[in-house]
Amino acid sequence: MVHITKARLAAGLLAALFLVSTPAAVNATSDWTGDTKLRAGAPLVIGHRGASGYRPEHTLASYELAARMGADFIEPDLVSTKDGVLVVRHENEIGGTTDVAKHAEFADRKKTKTIDGAPLTGWFTEDFTLAELKTLRAVERLPQIRGRNTLYDGRYQIPTFQEVLDLRGKLSRELHREIGVYPETKHPTYFKGIGLDLNPKLVAALTAGGLNRPGAPVFVQSFEVGNLKSLKHQVAVPLIQLIDATGAPADFVAAGDKRTYDDLVKPDGLKEIAGYASGIGPAGTRIIPVDGSGNQTTATTLVADAHKARLKVHPWTVRNENNFLPVNLRTSADVTAYGKVWTLLDQFFKQGVDGVFSDNPDTAVAARQEFLDNN
Ligand code: G3P
Ligand code: CA
């Protein structure tokens, strides 16, 4: 039985009052800063697609493990079903992360589509109702690298966003700390174009869950710009502009806007981002680049530049295996073996990042503790 303290009851009443009295257009004024047992300003650990180094990504098992490993946030990527329900997948094409190809009844759903300007063949969430998607089971995306995770193939459903929020609440109560949620809208321009706008559903879910308020343990992220600018007027939680290693936001490309991610990390770009977002989520190589051979070179000034623009910095994605590490941090030619990921985490923490996305939250939590103990 859940014990509700007077303080928690009062906080709940205040939150309810806020929801009733606050207009839709509100700005994020305070960011949730993580476990109060940690030093103020300690970098956050964001469980990337849950604890996807150990379980098939974007499953409730992956999110639960991330929370139990100490992650401050769990990270669901959001796409839509045919009947307009938000479900969590890294992309709307689900051939690589589910057993859909084995379902003969869905063979005729295989299609070739153009997503964000690129042709893609497979099965797409927007062609399935939620009931149909629930008959599928998740599988490990990277069986060649994460063979052990295939132990869990076929065991977990595709979760809805609501199920992730419910899990977040349950684990927060059980673990006696707020587990944050860090949703990313995937392909928002594409989904809006087919009549399945992600943003209203996201806003509704956060609001219904009492999470659309300043100080809620939530960040909302996107690689696109327009939908974040729109969300700024609809949510009271901080927004994070994702910055890819190369290329340009898909909505810029669609609108003929020639600016790229390279432009967004220049001082003028950061200043513009600060007008609608609270931080950036750059590819890690935007902070510590690699040369043509894959070896790390000198760190950029991005963290300092972003902080100067009053933006938080949450780089992605730290993964333990050699396959994903810079060449100089690999321990062998075995791509499945763990490399010197501790060094990479330490480098990011020393750069002053405000959080890291990691597929291995236990490692990131341990490295953070060591960093905090020594600095
Ligand atoms: O959202 C941060 C990071 O997850 C962005 O990359 O492609 O894994 O969603 P991706
Ligand atoms: Ca993501």
Per-residue model confidence as pLDDT tens digits over 336-347: 999 999 999 999
Q: Is residue 349 part of a domain?
A: yes
357, 358, 359, best to mutate for ligand 1 pocket (most atoms within 8 Å of CB): 357
- pLDDT at 5 (0 to 100): 36
Which residues, judged by CB distance below 6 Å to any ligand atom, belong to the binding site of ligand 1? Answer: 48, 77, 90, 184, 221, 242, 281, 316-317, 357
Q: Is 101 among the domain residues?
A: no
pLDDT, residue 34, reads 58
Asked if the structure places residue 345 within a domain, the reply is yes
Expressed as residue numbers, the domain containing 330 is 28-92+158-374
pLDDT of residue 14: 36
What pTM was computed for the model? 0.91
pLDDT band at 12 (very low <50, low <70, confident <90, very high): very low
Identify whether 100 is part of a domain. no
Span from the CA of 188 to the centroid of ligand 2 (angstroms)? 13
Q: How many domains does the chain have?
A: 1
Residue 121 within a domain: no
Is the confidence at residue 199, as pLDDT, over 90? yes
* pLDDT for res 92: 98
Residues 275-284 have pLDDT tens digits of 999 999 999 9
**pLDDT at position 29, please?**
37
Confidence check: pLDDT of 26 > 80: no
pLDDT at 329 over 50: yes
CA of 75 to the centre of ligand 1 (A): 9
What's 220's domain CATH number? 3.20.20.190
For residue 269, the CA-to-ligand 1 centroid distance in Å is 20
Note the pLDDT of residue 39.
Answer: 76
> 231 lies in a domain?
yes
| Residues 103, 108, 114: CA angle, nearest 5 degrees | 110
Task: Please determine, for residue 18, whether its predicted confidence score (pLDDT) is greater than 80.
Answer: no
Q: What is the pLDDT of residues 335-375, one digit of tens each?
A: 999 999 999 999 999 999 999 999 999 999 999 999 999 99
Determine, yes or no, domain membership for 124.
no
- Please state the atom number of ligand 1 nearest to the C-alpha of residue 182: 1
In this structure, is residue 134 part of a structural domain? Answer: no
